[in-house]
Structure 1
Amino acid sequence: MQQLKPLTLRRNFSWTFIGNAIYATCQWGMLVVMAKLGSPEILGQFTLGLAITAPVMLFTNLHLRSVQATDARHQYVFGDYLGLRLISTVLALLMIALITLSAGYRWQTSLVILLIGLAKAFESISDVFYGLIQQHERMDRIAISLMIKGSLSLLLLGFGVYISGNLLWGVAGLVVAWGMVLFIYDIGSGALILNQTPQARCHLRTLTKLVSLSIPLGFVMMLISLNTNIPRYFIEQILGERELGIFAALAYLMVVGGMVVNALGESASPRLAKYYAVGDSTAFCQLLFKLVGIAAILGLTVVLIAIVAGRQILTLLYRPEYAEQANLFVWLMVAAGIRYISSFLGYGMTAARYFRIQIPLFVVVTSISAMTCFWLVPKQGLLGAAIALNISAVVQLGFSLAIVIYALHRLKNNSENNHAIY
């Protein structure tokens, strides 16, 4: 029961870019607050919490948002997605608690991880509402939610760290911020689109089919997260929380270009899915080619900026001790540029409903990341971690391109099978 008229692709992109830009800026602002008011150790502790919770949450989320947004045939109702997300979020919290308590971290570190897990639980439920909104091509509602969440997060985390000098109170503020946005705004957006109060539906047979469809994407998202966080695990274990904090501060600047990539990818996903669903390979290929071209230009730009002004940027944004890693910054931006292209190819695979084949792809990529980190981090420190990121990024790009080419070939030659799931 659609109440809101879909926006154009251009307006959806504009809203998504603005929302993601403000949200990412606020997230970066949180890192700056911790770097300025605290120390690299505090920043490392926060990064460790994200690194522990993210793979678990991404796996149990099953990437339902993409499944919703590309459900061009409306095989499932929103209540199915919401019911599954509520169940999986509870499971994720239990898994995070088990991992944290069995890892033997200091009590304060454990509490930080658990609170970040709770904040991400609220974020996870908001995400399923984002999927509904994205399916109806009203990215303005998501953008407004992100802007509110980002601003509240920066305000409450910064206030908590400032008055206490302790990360624990800052993370508690994060929990409050994300919970408020979910209950006050996101649920209301869902009700506006559905023209009724959103309700979870727990039909076992339907949920089983939905899990079967989406669990490959859950594995893929977990593997992508592990691929990102594996260098952080090695850095924390071998070099310590201080070095992890420095690495995280520099690596977060990869997000600058990622904002454009995510905005375009999320806005274009429903359209890519429609093109593929109706067998329009020309339109699908043209749109995807434009996205990849933008990614290539963007990647080259961030690398050139890092080479020319990296040291000055790091000194201005953080502290002089961060600017000592200007060479590391360049390596991280190279990895970012490669990943921007891979991300758009990933949106193409998902729009084509090529889910299962992404599992072996990211198993290979994650395994290579772990092996190269095991080899390089003890020898070359933070630079070794950045080189490992580049190696895994190149492998991901090659395999992703091969899968997209195969999907297009199959679409052209077997249009009757263009909804097959792999």
Structure 2
Amino acid sequence: MKHGLKNSVFWMFAGSGTYALMQWFQLAIISKSCSAYTLGSFTLALAIAAPVFLFFGLQLRNVQVTDSRNEYTFSHYFGLRLCTMIAAFATVCLIGLIGRVDMGILTAVAALKGVEGMAEIFNGQQQKLERMEFLALSLSLKGVAATIAIPVGVYCFDSLAVGLALAVALNLVVLFFNDYLNCYRLFGRKRFISLRGLNYKSLFVKSLPLGFVMLIISLNGNIPKYFSELLLGTEQQGIYSAIAYCLVVGNFVSNAVGQSFSPRLSRYYADGERIRFIRLSQLFVGGNALVGLALFLFTLVWGEWFLRLAFSPAIAAYSRLFSLIMLGGIFANMANALGYSLTAMRVFRIQPFINGIELVVNLIGCYLLIRYYGLSGAGLAAVITPCFRLAILFLVIRNRLNRRCG
């Protein structure tokens, strides 16, 4: 049963919005109840785990959703994701042993990312069938579960690691009783998971470029945190990471709409409906720009008040940094929209090169700007870097569309 695009967008907003709000609550609880060092250790653990899990995730969900000709079965996606999540967990633990990281927090964060990665494959099947209400429920339940677990660990056991471990346990419950059972019903109560006799090579090779894309995108988001940790210390890194997390508001809007638009964009492009594809892409990019602009204007007027309410007076002193980061968010969200359009066109191989250029710009910019201007330099880098990606994506998409019509 296909649902309307407006209905799909509504459910994705509901689910992604609830999930983003719950993540903000989690960060607010940690920033208000734990030391600045613990906050920095948590955000550093996220900065280490996120790129690894996104790389090993191979963007399988997007490949699954845009697989309009059913080139691969659900079992292919599920089996490959299971293998890659195990590899990702092992890699994060190895990095933790090499570096100076709180292993309790890092291991719990990695386990949580692994469970979320498995849930994505079930969510991808629901998204592909445009049953966004199931996906929204899944995101909401996982967000609420973690938001309940973290304060239990912090207040009852005086340990963030314990709270994160409880979050992993609750997310496993959601994974089985919601994600798995809902997909079981969508498949008509037939067996839909089998790990026997499956050849993952073709799917792995097809998805690997997208894994590099996600790795580079995640590194681009986390490079300011790495340089802040290296040059300014864990506490300053924690402050930057808390403020930068506010970008999730724009990201959730972009991703909610993008996940709803992706199946339709993919069909329009596959069917040669160029005009409809362009119009829907323009609507997506324009909407992202307006949302980003509204958030930026909000920070100019009420930025300090919001940071004080959301986090702490110490973080509220960095309201100018908040405005700089949200200015960069306008361009980042527009580029994110074009990235969804390029993926819907099934153009995968060039994406690592596009994001690689952005990575080089980001590395140079963060090193020079943070070194000489501190956290303000990180904010400037957050504005400059996404502009490069936005321009390159626009040129690539225009060229591909012209070649297809030519």
**Same-fold call, TM > 0.5?**
yes
* One-letter identity of the residue aligned with 2:134: R
Aligned partners of 1:353 and 1:28: how far apart in 2? 33
Q: 2:58 aligned with 1:62, yes or no?
A: yes
* One-letter identity of the residue aligned with 1:308: V
Q: Is the 8 A contact 2:146 2:164 kept in 1?
A: no
Q: 2:50 aligned with 1:51, yes or no?
A: no
Task: Indicate which of 154, 164, 176 corresponds to 2:157.
Answer: 164
Aligned partners of 2:153 and 2:103: how far apart in 1? 18
Mapping for residues 11-410 of structure 1, pairs under 5 Å: 11-105=7-101, 109-195=102-188, 196-203=190-197, 206-410=199-403
Moved more, 310-319 or 353-362: 310-319
* One-letter identity of the residue aligned with 2:394: L
* One-letter identity of the residue aligned with 1:268: F
* One-letter identity of the residue aligned with 2:352: I
Q: Is the 8 A contact 2:247 2:326 kept in 1?
A: yes
Q: Deviations over 1:167-198 (max 9, x none)?
A: 21121122112212112211112211122243
**CA pair 10-136 structure 1, distance change in 2 beyond 3 A:** same
Aligned partners of 1:336 and 1:162: how far apart in 2? 34
Query: Deviation of residue 326 (structure 1)?
Result: 0.7
Question: Which runs of 5 or more structure 1 residues have no equivalent in the other structure?
Answer: 414-422
Query: Deviation of residue 97 (structure 1)?
Result: 1.5
Q: Is the 8 A contact 1:84 1:202 kept in 2?
A: no
Q: Is the 8 A contact 2:335 2:390 kept in 1?
A: yes
Query: Deviation of residue 166 (structure 1)?
Result: 2.1
Q: Deviations over 1:301-356 (max 9, x none)?
A: 11111111111111122211111101100000011111110011000000001111
Q: Is the 8 A contact 1:37 1:165 kept in 2?
A: no
Aligned partners of 1:410 and 1:163: how far apart in 2? 61
Aligned twin of 1:9: 5
Partner of 2:2, secondary structure, is: coil
Q: Deviations over 1:199-235 (max 9, x none)?
A: 133545x411101111000110011000001111111
Partner of 2:236, secondary structure, is: helix
Q: Is the 8 A contact 1:148 1:181 kept in 2?
A: yes
Q: Is the 8 A contact 1:47 1:245 kept in 2?
A: yes
Instruction: After the TM superposition, list the runs of 4 or more consecutive aligned residues in structure 1 that deviate by more than 4 angstroms.
Output: none
Q: Is the 8 A contact 1:26 1:150 kept in 2?
A: yes
Aligned partners of 2:173 and 2:240: how far apart in 1? 31
Aligned partners of 1:139 and 1:147: how far apart in 2? 12
* TM-score, with length taken from structure 2: 0.97
Aligned partners of 1:268 and 1:365: how far apart in 2? 25
Partner of 2:374, secondary structure, is: helix
- Over the matched positions of the two proteins, sequence identity in percent amounts to 36
Moved more, 278-287 or 164-173: 164-173
Q: Is the 8 A contact 2:268 2:277 kept in 1?
A: yes
Number of positions where the alignment pairs a residue of Structure 1 with one of Structure 2 = 405
Q: Is the 8 A contact 1:38 1:165 kept in 2?
A: no
Aligned partners of 2:44 and 2:185: how far apart in 1? 38
Query: Deviation of residue 255 (structure 1)?
Result: 1.1
Question: Which runs of 5 or more structure 2 residues have no equivalent in the other structure?
Answer: none
Partner of 1:393, secondary structure, is: helix
Partner of 2:343, secondary structure, is: helix
Q: Is the 8 A contact 1:376 1:384 kept in 2?
A: yes
Aligned partners of 1:397 and 1:12: how far apart in 2? 26
Aligned partners of 2:287 and 2:183: how far apart in 1? 32
